[in-house]
Structure 1
Amino acid sequence: MKPLAADEITGVWGTLLLPVEGRGDIGWDRLASQLDALLTSGVDGIYAHGTAGEFHAVDEAEFDRVSALLAQRCEAAGLPYQIGASHPATPVALGRIRRAAALRPGAVQVILPDWVPLNDDEVVRFLTGAAETAGDVPLVLYNPPHAKTQVSPSLLARLAADVPPLVGVKMAGGDDAWYAAMTDAVPRLSIFVPGHLLASGLARGAHGSYSNIAAMSPRGAVAWYRLMTTDPATAADVERRIGEFFARHIAPLQSRGLSNPALDKFLATVGGWADIGVTLRWPASSAPADAVDPARADAHRLLPELFPA
């Protein structure tokens, strides 16, 4: 696949989630079926090995097998794809970047080294090395709120200037001042924000989402994105109702200490579009299965736009 430019990284991207079986094995047939469902859902692209894909809980052979499956199926379908090549340990991350780039994805996603915080020079040094390792495959920086090193708009501006292969970022978003600062600092980068905040984010300058709403309903997330361009008022109301759903069914799970991967698998099970299940790999805690049916009933009642026939 050709390298993606920043202006080609837009819209709703779906993620691969690991179906876990038995004593923690990946259900490879279930993973392939999930990928087939994503390929026909209308999403603008697919990625693997994000937080929701439990990149931190796969070994290197599993990493390569997931990456190869994604590359093969997306290349055959002509759908853009990205491979997350992240790891908290820098040498392992560089190895993942090298092997991911060899598969020729549209971009490689990376996190910053995550055991100790980095200063600005170290951030530039790491991304420069990551770009050199990836060759002509561009980079997307994933900088979530729990990252030890938080990248400001001003540091992003330096990165955009010093590391030209950096074409996009995935961040938590912010208020009007944050969006204004990002627009001024990095006008050439693709800015992706959380899926459940995409309507308000798009209105303030974001370009798309590696989407937790696509985790719940890929077709529904695409339909909602189309509403953002044709009927912004209705799209904004959908976002308000998503917030209501999250307050009822996601916030209580967060308050129990469940991780984002657990919440995304829970959303996928609520959506029921693929056989994924709520189970995470050891030692992580999973969402309770008995919470799925009440959440599913509320999701269909509150958010019919996300469940097209």
Structure 2
Amino acid sequence: MAVTKLERQDSRWGHIRGNWATLLLPINEDDSISFSRLTDAIDRLIAARVDGIYSNGTAGEFHNQTETEFGQIQQLLADRCKAAMMPFVIGACQPDPRISLERVRRAAGLKPEAIQVILPDWWPVTAVEATDFLKMAADAAGSVPLLLYQPPHAKRVFTPAELAVILESVPQVVGVKLGDGDASWYEQARRHLDPWGIYVPGHHLATGVKQGIAAGAFSNVACLSPLGAQRWTASMAGNLDQALEIEHRLRTFLDDHIAPFAKVHGYSNAALDKLLAAIGGWAEIGTRLRRPYRWIDPSVVPALREKAKAALPEIML
């Protein structure tokens, strides 16, 4: 059997593989961050022995923090992970490029496996501007590698061919977190993006592995169950067909029971991820987001938890 990208020990992104779990911010009723609950959540992720933990993705509400809070969150993550020898990635994401670059500089001092950035997001960047920003971020990061977060809702989403041209100019970028697509998209990704670690949506990971492109996922499945997501990821090396069958049920559950909160009611991706964590019940995070963003009423959780247990016993551990 051929070695998949998930299993490859590439020298550039080899330490950033598999199932990466995100920090979700527990928010108190007064809109403050509960650092005691955040500490507990980090410790539970470490206990689940996920492949790594990352901060300040969309679900970490990076767009709704003060810079003081940013520093507190990253220091807490670094301290807990280093003590447990758990790999971690810091998200220095911020729509404002100046604030983002300063976050990169601060994150570099904590020596994570990598630093994740988004492209400037108030005005869509051209390919030349995207390259220039990544070069600036690389200078700010020093010896710490970069990951580019290119979500489907970014103001400018580049094709695999366009991304390859941008990334070739910035060797410090070792991987990209992005939304995948159909068979044609995967063909383009294999052709253009093989030198980089590619991180697909968590609930598409088995497909990404089958297509030979995925090094791992910064995973929404880990929001639902860090332990279940880790075991599912590990199973892909030995029984990919079974992992794909689980993925089919996982996608169906998300399409039927989670996606309507966004498509029909307008809730954000962060709200959906916190709902998944509440359904999983592995930590006391809650569904609350920071205002002005709306969160999903936790009264829906018990019924959804039973549906998840019935549909996904391999994940709901």
**TM over 0.5, shorter chain:** yes
Give the distance between the partners of 1:176 and 1:42, measured in 2 at CA. Answer: 32
**C-alpha RMSD of matched pairs (Å):** 1.0
Q: Deviations over 1:148-189 (max 9, x none)?
A: 011221222122321000000000111122122122212210
The letter of the residue matching 1:249 is H
Contact (CA 8 Å) 2:287, 2:298: kept in 1 or not?
A: yes
Give 1:283's aligned residue. Answer: 292
Q: Which amino acid aligns with 1:113?
A: P
What aligned pairs does 1:197-216 form with structure 2 within 5 A after superposition? 197-204=204-211, 205-216=213-224
- Residue 304 of structure 1 corresponds to 313
Matched, 1:170 2:202: no
Give the Cα–Cα distance (whole angstroms) in 1 for the partners of residues 316 and 151 of structure 2.
28
TM-score normalised by the chain length of structure 1 = 0.97
Given candidates 37, 47, 70, the residue that maps to 2:44 is 37
- Corresponding residue SS for 1:118: coil
Deviates more, 1:183-192 or 1:275-284: 183-192
Shift of 1:248: 2.4
- TM-superposed deviation, 1:213: 0.4
Cα contact 1:220–1:307 (8 A) shared by 2: yes
Instruction: Specify the alignment match of 2:76 in structure 1.
Output: 69
| Counterpart in the other structure of 2:19 | 12
Residues 2-57 of structure 1 deviation map (CA, whole Å, 9 limit, x = unaligned): xx821222100001100000210111100000000001112100000110000001
**What percent identity do the matched residue pairs reach?**
45
Runs of 4+ in 1 over 6 A off after TM superposition: none
Letter matched to residue 278 of structure 1: T
2:131 aligns to what SS in structure 1? helix
Work out the CA distance in 2 between the residues paired with 1:124 and 1:163: 7
Letter in 1 for 2:18: G
**Is residue 19–residue 233 contact of structure 2 (8 Å, CA) maintained in 1?**
yes
Q: Which residue in 2 is equivalent to 1:230?
A: 238
Q: Secondary structure at the match of 1:20?
A: coil
Matching of residue 138 in structure 1 with residue 145 in structure 2? yes
Q: Which moved more, 1:222-231 or 1:296-305?
A: 222-231
Say yes or no: does 1:116 pair with 2:123: yes
> Aligned partner of 2:83: which letter?
A
> Do 1:195 and 1:209's aligned partners in 2 also have CA atoms closer than 8 Å?
yes
How far apart, CA to CA, are the structure 2 residues paired with 1:220 and 1:285?
28
Q: For 1:125, which of 124, 132, 151 is the aligned residue? A: 132
Residue identity opposite 1:34 in structure 2:
A
How far 1:209 sits from its partner (Å)?
0.3
Compute the displacement of 1:258 (Å): 0.4
Unaligned runs of 5+ in 2: 1-10
Q: What SS class does the counterpart of residue 58 from structure 2 fall into? A: coil
Is 2:292 the counterpart of 1:292? no
Contact 1:159–1:166, Cα closer than 8 Å, also in 2: no
The aligned residue for residue 261 of structure 2 is 253
Aligned to 1:273: 282
Of the three residues 88, 92, 117, the one matched with 1:85 is 92
